[in-house]
Amino acid sequence: MKDKTIAILPFVNMSSNVENEYFSDGITEEIINALAKIQGLKITSRTSSFYFKGKNIPIKDIGSQLQVSTILEGSVRVADSTIRITAQLIDSEEDFHFWSETWDRKLENIFKIQDEISLLIADKLREQLGHFEIQEQLVAKQTNNYKAYEFYLKAKYLKNKWSLEDTQQAISLFEKVVALDSNHGQSYAGLADCYSFLGTTGFIPYEEAWGKSHQYTQQALVLDDQLSEVHYQLSNEAFFIECDYQKSLSKMKRAIVLNPSNAEAQQFISFLYIVAGNQSKAKEHLDISASLNPLSEETQFFKAYFHYMMEDFETALALLDKCLIANNKNIPAHSVKGICLVQMQRYDEAIAYFDAVPKEIVILGEKIGIIGLAHAFKKDQANSHQYLGMLEEQTKKPNGFTADSYLFMMQVALGQFDKAFTWVEDAIQNKKSLLLLRYLDPLVHVLKSDTRYEKYRQIIFAKDIKIEVEPKNKKGLLDIEKAKAYTDLLAEHISNEKPYLNASLTLRLLAEQLDIHPNQLSWLLNENLGKNFNEFINHYRVETFKDLAKKPENANITIMGLAYDSGFNSKTVFNTYFKKEMGITPRQFLKM
């Protein structure tokens, strides 16, 4: 059986109006979110899937780059009040389409359409890849107001561009959504995400941004506490506002429980572990995020930061340069590269570094801090103290929190340990969040020689707490006695009724014939018989083809005629499964 991995490529906008691009993107993202709810199915994140938008790249190459066994592609056409959606599933290794479908529906039933499509795709994936349990509903109705949903899709489309202008437009659209439907939790989560982005990038004052982000996060939480993105946002708040490491970790764990395919959550929890010195857990979640989002610039950054914290500065620098080639306005990448150059003793480069960085993204406290650290490590006393004084002045200004954290590192670099620990005490008392970021930074490792270091480390990074995964629904499992009874019943039904001759046979239809839940039949086939549904059914179809081909009265029937009589409805699927079963092609078999 194949790996249970899938990438959903952006659905092509087939509407006459090119502005409907947001709608096809939105449908794609909603299907990604729906399938992400299925335990055991790994979905490539939106960022990496959308990398291939508009690019004419062979399916095999896409599958290889994303490391997935299956690709879903499709199209959306909106005309007046109707919508046509097409979708097809492709085995990325063999490059063959094993299922396709077209839906023509009324736009007013958009959530029902999305649920219908997502459930059918999930069924077909299970038939091809192997067992996982499927809920009765994957897409819930978000709102009764279609116009609100349209604004929501447009807002998400813009938000995902992560620029100042697009984020501002997204905020305006999210606000229109909640004006039309005040119970739309996803839009409050979107507003929270937009404002946290504006705050961390410095486009608006830090406190104002996080204040609004907190307000909208709480509103989203009240409306729907099962949204993974809400708990992701709560974790960010706990880290950047409350300076509460333990709470941040617990909220991020909760986000992952709700959606293990949330690549951003996997990245951030890796970051939380590495800043606390837990290298193995950080690597574990970093690998998961990389498998979910292999082509993301953000993934590259978190990899770089991991290597920086591991003191592998050469690898970190190479990864940071990749990030900056893709986007020269990547603020975090510039920040870490500056201190990475200091660590590599490339002091003159560090001092001049921000001269070549786009001026509109330079954070003054960061620039002063990195130049000061370079002078401190060069043992340039005059310049070191000059920049130390500049940092002290900068901390008194609005948004001086960045300079404040560099003040701590400068004190360590200059051997002012008493002042450094005084800063730590003040940071703990006043909840200075960048304390969590800086305390285990390799630049201040010299502090470890002081007996006070471990005491404060225990205070800052409290013991890791476990978040138990909610009990899963076990209705798909059968005890030994029932499993044997159903296995016997299945064998008898196959022998007597020959359901495989029906080219439209599905796992759900076979389950209905046996009066068994589809989740139970899926489990039975995979766990007891060691085959997925397609392998199981197509085995009998291949055997039927072989029997029919040997009969003299069928000598004038074409190969595909015999294949159709055996229950196959696709030439590609027939040839693929025949060769898999027999090791030779159908034509070679007939010659023998």
pLDDT at position 334 is: 92
| Share of residues in the chain with pLDDT > 70 (%) | 97
User: Each residue of 142-194: pLDDT tens digit?
Assistant: 899 989 998 999 998 888 776 788 899 999 999 999 999 999 999 999 999 99
What are the structural domains, with CATH classification, of the chain? 5-141 (3.40.50.10610), 480-591 (1.10.10.60)
pLDDT at position 130 is: 92
Query: Which residue, among 516, 519, 526, 518, has the nearest Cα to 485 in the 3D structure?
Result: 516
Choose from 104-108, 354-358, 412-416 the range with maximum mean pLDDT.
412-416
Residue 332, pLDDT > 90, answer no
Torsion, Cα 272 277 283 286, to 10 degrees, reads 20
Q: Token pair for residue 14?
A: 């087939």
Count of other CB atoms within 10 angstroms of residue 468: 7
User: Cα angle vertex 586, ends 580, 592, to 5°?
Assistant: 115
Per-residue confidence at 479, pLDDT binned at 50, 70, 90?
confident
pLDDT at position 463 is: 60
Q: Token pair for residue 128?
A: 């091809």
Give the span between the Cα atoms of 15 and 23, in whole angstroms.
Answer: 10
What's the average model confidence in pLDDT over 31-58? Answer: 90
Q: Token pair for residue 431?
A: 């909840």
| Range of weakest confidence among 145-159, 462-476, 493-507 | 462-476
pLDDT at position 468 is: 46
8 A C-beta contact, residue 48 and residue 41:
no
pLDDT at position 466 is: 53
Residue 108, pLDDT > 70, answer yes
Average pLDDT in the chain: 91
Looking from the CA of 348 toward its CB, the CA atoms found within 13 Å total 0
Dihedral pair phi/psi, residue 472, rounded to 5°: -85, 155
**What sign does the CA torsion over 373, 379, 380, 383 have?**
positive
Residue 474, pLDDT > 60, answer no
User: Each residue of 245-302: pLDDT tens digit?
Assistant: 999 999 999 999 999 989 999 999 999 999 999 999 999 999 999 999 898 888 899 9
pLDDT at position 469 is: 45
**Based on C-alpha coordinates, what's the Rg of the chain?**
28
User: Each residue of 112-156: pLDDT tens digit?
Assistant: 999 999 999 999 999 999 999 999 999 888 899 989 998 999 998
8 A C-beta contact, residue 31 and residue 118:
yes
pLDDT at position 477 is: 66
Give the span between the Cα atoms of 386 and 351, in whole angstroms.
Answer: 14
Question: What's the pTM?
Answer: 0.81
User: Each residue of 382-440: pLDDT tens digit?
Assistant: 999 999 999 999 998 877 888 999 999 999 999 999 999 999 999 999 998 889 999 99
From residue 182, how far is each of 139, 156, 169 by CA, in Å?
20, 17, 19
End-to-end CA distance of the chain: 29
Residue 201, pLDDT > 90, answer no
What's the average model confidence in pLDDT over 307-323? Answer: 96
Q: Which is more confident, 85 or 20? A: 85
pLDDT at position 471 is: 44
pLDDT at position 131 is: 92
Residue 447's region, left for phi above 0, alpha for psi from -120 to 50, else beta, is alpha
8 A C-beta contact, residue 549 and residue 574:
no
Residue 495, pLDDT > 50, answer yes
pLDDT at position 476 is: 43
Per-residue confidence at 329, pLDDT binned at 50, 70, 90?
confident
8 A C-beta contact, residue 16 and residue 24:
no
Query: Which residue, among 244, 187, 158, 180, has the nearest Cα to 427 in the 3D structure?
Result: 244
Q: Which residues contact 204 (CB under 8 A, 6 or more apart)?
A: 195, 198
